[in-house]
Every structure is written in structure tokens, then in C-alpha cells.
């Protein structure tokens, strides 16, 4: 008698994603591995996203829909986790998609490795039509067998997509008051449970990188929210070593955000002071030896320091 294939729950939060939603859903429904449920959470969309999902649901009973008032992506994902029936969980963002064979390969690799979480590679797609770029993971040349789970926050993408999770007690819920880097906070909480992790070096996830994302006023207004996520994540640490590792990760994120939002632009005064205090208190000296961040860090710390001295 053939063993029954385990059920996978795919969770797709939706908020005004009509332009890319069809491609996302079709990429899931066309998977060769068919034993899955797709939970789509419409988080108060004001466009036609909900009607698009409803049309798909009429044709495929594996689709379950949650329609709720706008509460944010974390609340949407939590709502889906509460009703998920799958033995495994996969998160997909509504403007992204997955390659053919993703579920079959991921479930095979995870069960063969007997782990709690499988991390797989991804590609970045510009929405202006640029070609796909295969992003080489940092851990490719490393021996990951004996690494602590928390080490992966500095080795792989700090997103919940690009992963297959075993749906067990180690899987936390999202902190709904966080508005930025909520994925990172979720993963830190998860990795602190010491799950067993395996890596599949195949780019199965296609991440759509929007060209205007860095200049959206709504994102810019939330720029200080990174520190709320850092504060929450640091509160989870039980010892100095763990706290330092978490601080390293958020220091790196702060530097990237500086480059993303404020390169060749004027900085909001409040944000300038917040970044300065965070980096001075948390920044790990080892980053000063990393060529890719050395000049960025020194330039911006000098800029902020000079600005504060003039006050």
C-alpha cells in the first residue's frame, strides 16, 4: 500500500495585488505535487484582488479564502496559520511565484533530511522586465551541518518565503504590531527553538523586486519601525551571545536601509538620530572589516555624527 503524501498548506496574503496575483496562484495550482491546500487571505484589498481569488476558488476546491479588514501582513498570515491543515507550511507573497516542481522537490528534500525546515534558493525579478538573476547564497561554500539554527539569520534571506516549514510546536506566530522586518523577528523566534534545518541549493522561488519600492512614501514613513522589530527580537535573547548575534543582523539591516532609502538624499532628522544611536549601541565591529559595508558605514556614521555635533 502506497504511503499517503503529506498535505502542504500554502499561505498567500493579499493586499491590492491584482497585477501579479494570477501568476502567483497559477504557479501554485500547476505544481506536479497535488496534495496541498492554498489559503489566500485578502487583507482588505480595494482593487479586484478578492474577485480574482474567488474565480480561482470556484474552479479548484483546494483554495480557501479568508476575507478580513486591513490588519497587515502579519495578522493575515496568523489567520491562515490558525486554520492550516497541512503537515507542512509554505509562505508565498502575492506578487511572487514559484517554479514548476517546487513542492515535489521541497517535500522530498525535507523528509529525506528529516528536518524541521528546508531553505531553498531564489531568483530576483525586476518588474520592468529585466532578466532573472540567480542570487548565490552565502552558505554555499560553508559546512552547515553543525551550525546553530540562529546562525542562519546571517547566512540566508531573512524572509519566510523560500522555505518549507514543518507545522509543529516550534513554529511561532507573527508579532502583529511590527511593521518592518517582521519576517526577521519571526525567524529569530523560530530559530531560537533550535529547529533542524537543511538547505536546497535550487532557485525555486521567484521574488519580484519592485523598482519603485524604495521611494514609496508609505515605506519611508515606516523607516523607523525597524527599531521596533529589533527591540522585540532582542527581548527574545536569553544570553549575551544570542543578543550579539541578533544585534549584528539588525545592524546589517540598518545599513542596507540607509543605502536603500537615503542614498544621495536628505535624511529626516528623527531617523538620523535613531540610526546613530542604534549603530553606536549595537553595531558589531567585525562589519568594519567587510569591504562591502566598510565605506557605507563610515560615511554615514560620519554624516550623522557631524550633524549631531552641530545641534
For 3, 15, 43, 68, 153, the CA distances from 72, given in Å and listed in that order, are: 39, 9, 7, 10, 23
What is the distance between the alpha carbons of residues 20 and 169, in angstroms, rounded to a whole number? 33
pLDDT score recorded for residue 287: 46
Residue predicted with more confidence, 311 or 258 = 258
Contact 119, 106 (CB under 8 A): no
Beta strands in the chain (DSSP E): 8-14, 36-43, 63-68, 88-91, 97-98, 117-126, 133-134, 163-166, 197-209
Read off the pLDDT band of 292 (50, 70, 90): very low
pTM greater than 0.85 (yes/no)? no
* Average pLDDT of the segment spanning 68-76: 96
Task: State the pLDDT confidence band at 221, using cuts at 50, 70 and 90.
Answer: very low
Confidence of residue 214 (pLDDT cuts 50, 70, 90): very low
**What is the structure's pLDDT at 282?**
53
| Residue of 112, 88, 110 lying closest to 197 (CA atoms) | 110
Q: Please, which pLDDT band fits residue 225 given cuts at 50, 70 and 90? A: confident
Return the minimum-mean-pLDDT range out of 110-124, 236-250, 270-284. 270-284
Confidence at residue 229, expressed as pLDDT on a 0 to 100 scale: 87
**240-262 and 291-309 are packed helices; what angle lies between their axes, rounded to 10 degrees?**
80
Of 214 and 111, the structure prediction assigns the larger pLDDT to: 111
Checking if the pLDDT of 175 tops 80, the result is yes
Please, are residues 10 and 39 in contact by the beta-carbon 8 Å criterion? yes
Task: Give mean pLDDT, residues 267-284.
Answer: 58
Compute and round to an integer the Cα radius of gyration of the chain: 20
Task: Give the model's confidence band at 158: pLDDT under 50 very low, under 70 low, under 90 confident, else very high.
Answer: confident
Q: What is the mean pLDDT of residues 42-60?
A: 96
pLDDT on residue 216: 47
| Interval 149-170 mean pLDDT | 89
- For residue 97, is it left (φ>0), alpha (ψ between -120 and 50) or beta? beta
Q: How confident is the model at residue 228 (pLDDT cuts 50, 70, 90)?
A: confident
Q: How many whole angstroms separate alpha carbon 22 and alpha carbon 256? A: 31
Other CB atoms within 10 A of residue 251 CB: 20
Distance CA 64, CA 35 (A): 14
**Who wins on pLDDT, 227 or 79?**
79
Pairwise CA distance, residues 223 & 225, whole Å:
5
Rounded to the nearest 10°, the torsion over CA 271, 274, 278, 281 is 150
- Average pLDDT on 280-304 reads 50
Q: What is the number of other CB atoms lying within 10 angstroms of the CB of residue 80?
A: 22
In which residue are the cell numbers 539588525 written? 250
The domain 8-211 having CATH identifier 3.60.21.10: the answer here is no
The pLDDT confidence band at residue 231, using thresholds 50, 70 and 90, is confident
Amino acid at each position: 500500500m502506497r504511503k499517503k503524501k503529506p498535505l502542504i498548506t500554502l499561505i498567500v496574503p493579499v493586499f491590492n495585488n491584482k497585477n501579479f496575483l494570477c501568476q502567483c496562484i497559477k504557479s501554485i495550482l500547476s505544481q506536479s505535487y497535488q496534495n496541498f491546500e492554498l489559503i489566500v487571505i485578502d487583507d482588505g484589498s480595494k482593487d479586484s484582488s478578492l474577485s480574482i481569488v474567488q474565480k480561482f476558488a470556484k474552479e479548484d476546491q483546494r483554495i480557501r479564502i479568508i476575507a478580513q479588514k486591513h490588519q497587515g501582513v502579519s495578522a493575515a498570515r496568523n489567520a491562515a496559520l490558525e486554520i492550516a491543515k497541512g503537515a507542512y507550511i509554505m509562505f508565498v507573497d502575492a506578487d511572487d511565484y514559484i517554479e514548476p516542481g517546487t513542492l515535489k522537490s521541497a517535500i522530498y528534500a525535507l523528509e529525506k533530511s528529516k528536518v524541521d525546515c528546508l531553505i531553498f534558493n531564489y531568483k530576483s525579478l525586476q518588474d520592468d522586465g529585466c532578466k532573472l538573476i540567480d542570487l548565490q547564497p552565502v552558505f554555499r561554500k560553508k559546512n552547515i551541518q553543525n551550525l546553530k539554527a540562529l546562525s542562519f539569520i546571517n547566512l540566508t534571506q531573512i524572509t519566510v518565503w523560500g522555505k518549507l516549514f514543518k507545522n509543529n510546536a516550534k513554529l511561532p506566530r507573527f508579532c502583529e504590531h511590527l511593521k518592518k522586518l517582521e519576517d526577521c523577528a519571526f525567524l529569530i523566534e523560530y530559530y531560537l527553538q533550535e529547529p533542524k534545518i537543511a538547505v536546497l541549493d535550487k532557485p525555486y522561488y521567484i521574488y519580484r523586486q519592485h523598482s519603485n519600492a524604495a521611494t514609496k512614501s508609505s515605506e519611508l514613513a515606516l523607516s523607523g519601525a525597524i527599531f521596533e522589530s529589533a527591540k522585540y527580537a532582542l527581548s527574545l535573547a536569553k544570553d549575551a551571545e544570542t543578543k550579539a548575534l541578533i544585534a549584528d543582523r539588525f545592524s546589517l539591516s540598518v545599513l542596507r536601509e540607509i543605502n536603500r532609502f537615503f542614498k544621495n538624499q536628505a535624511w529626516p532628522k528623527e531617523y538620523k538620530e535613531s540610526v546613530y544611536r542604534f549603530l553606536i549601541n549595537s553595531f558589531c565591529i567585525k562589519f568594519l572589516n567587510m569591504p562591502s559595508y566598510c565605506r557605507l558605514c563610515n560615511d554615514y556614521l560620519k554624516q550623522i555624527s557631524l550633524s549631531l555635533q552641530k545641534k
